[in-house]
Amino acid sequence: MSEPLPHPQLLLAIAALRDRALAADSLNALAFSIANDPYALLQYHQALVFQQQGQHLELLCVSGLGRPTEDSPYLVWLQRAVRWVAAQLEDDKPRWLARDAVSPPADIEEDWAEWWPTGLWCIPLHDREGQRLGLVVLLLDQPPAPALEPLFDGLWRTWAHCWAGFARQRRLTRWRPSKRQLLLALAIGLALLLVPVRQTALAPAEIVSREAMIISSPIDGVIERMQVRPNQPVDKDTLLFSLDETTLRSRAEVLGKELAVADAELAAASQRAFDNPQSKSELTLLNGRVQQRRAELAAVRAQLQRTQVRSPRAGVAVYSDPNDWLGKPVSTGERILLVAEPRQPAMLIQLPVADAIALEPGAEVTLFLTAYPLTPLKGKVLETSYQARANEEGVVAYRLLASIDGQPEHARLGLHGTARLYGERVVLGYYLLRRPFAALRAWSGL
């Protein structure tokens, strides 16, 4: 070892080593500084820097070289030797290991003389919690002077402090699962895919009445007035709406006059028949004309009676807005409104074809109303349609009717919400991949 530097210069050199360690921007840069920068002070044969990885020590840097990547005979022996060296360090204090003062295993002792000099100065680096971060091994011919060890103690602590910062950053930003963790996660994922779950589907729904009668227009005409308001309770024979009678009354008046003329012609022909035999042949024609006018007048009067449409039963009048119907021409059989029984509500569900699942009558249904999201309604499917049709939004869907359990007060006709339909039990993998599989088969044709 060369002549030691004067004490002030030694302090400046150690301070420079600490500054270089603090300036390192990565763990590899710090390891390179630890392995190479102290050479001017310690004149070692070689410096080895290891990182503690559980029970394994990973070689980070060798002085004078880049990071070794090949498994040379020296590096293979070094992995065995460093495990024995680390076992000799019981605390965080540096220790001098002389070859003639220790008893390493035979395979290590045999190659020590070939690869290493007389002794090793081993410097363990620990964090504040006492966990070993790494190990620095300096290959020397003789132990360092006892007066130097206190001076280098601050340098060791600086290396450990910087190392702890990089190790913490790597744990936060570069955590990678081990092979065992990946296999365990894969096994758990496969097991979860086999968990049985209820197959479900979501669909828009509306509360309707199970006992509802369609009220349609009895004749062709124009709606004059809606006599009831939307959602108004009605009794049997309550007037619901009326059609304009102007055309029918005019027709009835004309037919009445035509009937009077026909009756007068028939009476005159009957009187002439006594004196004129030719008038007898006209009686049949005139009598037929009178019967025709009388039948036409009776039909018009019957239509006049049908312009006042009354409720065939008690219930609630269900339709949108009276202004939508006022003055609107309607044809015979055209739907105007519903008379529904509010005490027998049901769910009318429009299940889109893309979300359809296998459902049978009796399947469970839960309806979440938009107006009452915290009080869902329970029920069961009563009937399903086998043919899908486009609804008002243009979505092709199946029509389902479901019951509502109990008599909930908030189950008011006309409320909308989202229904959850429950099918048979399937494994979770099928539940998650059903739609992707269906789309893939539709796209590929397999």
Predicted confidence at residue 288, as pLDDT, reads 82
Predicted confidence at residue 393, as pLDDT, reads 80
Residues in the chain: 446
Residue type, 198: R
Q: What Å distances lie between residue 104 and 93, 99, 113, 144, CA to CA?
A: 20, 8, 12, 22
Residues 145 and 271 in one domain: no
Residue 271 maps to a domain: yes
Residue type, 292: Q
Residue with tokens 């049997």: 236
C-alpha of 106 from chain center: 63
Which pLDDT band holds residue 274 (cuts at 50, 70, 90)?
Answer: low
| Residue where a domain terminates, one of 335, 361, 382 | 335
Residues 93 and 157 in one domain: yes
Residues 371 and 291 in one domain: no
Alpha helix stretches (DSSP H) within 174-229: 179-193
3 secondary structure, DSSP code: P
% of the chain exceeding 70 in pLDDT: 93
**Nearest partner of 227 among 78, 336, 354, judged by Cα:** 336
pLDDT higher than threshold 50 for residue 397: yes
Could you tell me if 38 and 94 are in contact, meaning their C-beta atoms sit under 8 angstroms apart? no
Mean pLDDT confidence for 344-361: 88
Residue 190 maps to a domain: no
Residue 179 maps to a domain: no
Could you tell me if 391 and 397 are in contact, meaning their C-beta atoms sit under 8 angstroms apart? yes
Q: What is the CATH number of the domain that holds 127?
A: 3.30.450.40
Residue 178 maps to a domain: no
Residue 86 maps to a domain: yes
Q: What is the CATH number of the domain that holds 408?
A: 2.40.30.170
C-alpha of 284 from chain center: 84
Residues 274 and 235 in one domain: yes
Q: Which residue has the higher pLDDT, 250 or 70?
A: 250
Mean pLDDT confidence for 92-107: 85
Q: Which residue has the higher pLDDT, 325 or 392?
A: 325
Q: What is the mean pLDDT of the chain?
A: 84
Residues 223 and 168 in one domain: no
**Nearest partner of 210 among 88, 108, 341, judged by Cα:** 341
Residues 351 and 330 in one domain: no
pLDDT higher than threshold 70 for residue 318: yes
Domain tally, the chain: 3
Dump pLDDT digits (tens) for 321-351.
Answer: 888 888 899 998 899 898 988 888 999 999 9
Which pLDDT band holds residue 2 (cuts at 50, 70, 90)?
Answer: very low
Residues 370 and 329 in one domain: no
**Encoded tokens for 74:** 């020296």
Lowest mean pLDDT among 63-67, 89-93, 254-258, 266-270: 63-67
Residues 87 and 105 in one domain: yes
Residue 186 maps to a domain: no
| Residue where a domain terminates, one of 335, 354, 377 | 335
Please state, as a whole number, how many other Cβ atoms lie within 10 Å of the Cβ of residue 414. Answer: 14
Residues 358 and 331 in one domain: no
Mean pLDDT confidence for 175-202: 88
**Domain hosting residue 365, numbered range:** 201-210+341-444
295 secondary structure, DSSP code: H
Could you tell me if 344 and 210 are in contact, meaning their C-beta atoms sit under 8 angstroms apart? yes
**Encoded tokens for 238:** 């309550």
Compute φ and ψ for 257, nearest 5 degrees. Answer: -70, -40
| Residue where a domain terminates, one of 315, 335, 355 | 335
Predicted confidence at residue 262, as pLDDT, reads 81
Residues 258 and 282 in one domain: yes
Residue with tokens 């459902």: 359
pLDDT higher than threshold 70 for residue 279: no
Residues 165 and 309 in one domain: no
Could you tell me if 359 and 400 are in contact, meaning their C-beta atoms sit under 8 angstroms apart? yes
Residue 196 maps to a domain: no
Residues 83 and 231 in one domain: no
Alpha helix stretches (DSSP H) within 99-216: 106-115, 148-173, 179-193
Mean pLDDT confidence for 20-43: 86
d(CA 234, CA 342): 11
